[in-house]
Copies of this chain bind each other. A is one copy, B any other.
């Protein structure tokens, strides 16, 4: 089981919008870079738009960043594309037996632990910005020559 690739695609889109900002980034063009269907891109771009990360307008070709590179963290993207509902990274078995000491207390015992782990994950994502990713992409490109 993996967290939906929407997250990775979201990062891809935002990086592309920056690196290719002088041209018109249609869903079709972005789709060709990601290697998927334009409708998939439009859906994800819509989510990024709702989160205030991207500017797009119906009927008008092209998307662009709505915020500064350095002010968009991967956590923002993660939250934007809804890959994990809040406090639900870890699935919990429902209805453990209330007649059992363990059954009636396990959820309350585990919950804060799962929350802490989830928070650690999000904190890690919050320290990286799209600017970092873009920089890295350009560096990897250089080092290929």
Give A residues with C-beta under 8 Å from B.
1-5, 7-9, 11-12, 15-16, 19-20, 32-36, 74, 83-85, 88-97, 100-106, 108-110, 113, 116-121, 123-125, 128, 133, 136-137, 140-141
Contact = CB atoms under 8 A, between A and B. Distances in A.
Contact of A110 (B1, B11, B90): B11
B137 A3 contact: no
A5 B93 contact: yes
B1 A113 contact: no
B1 A4 contact: yes
A84 B121 CA distance: 14
A117 B106 contact: no
Most-contacted residue by chain B among A36, A104, A137 (CB, 10 A): A137
A14 B11 CA distance: 39
Contact of A7 (B12, B90, B136): B90
Contacts of A121: 117-118, 120-121, 124
21 contacts: A1-B1, A1-B4, A1-B83, A1-B84, A2-B89, A2-B91, A5-B92, A7-B90, A9-B93, A12-B96, A16-B100, A32-B100, A33-B100, A33-B102, A34-B96, A105-B140, A106-B133, A109-B140, A120-B120, A120-B124, A121-B124
Nearest to A123: B120
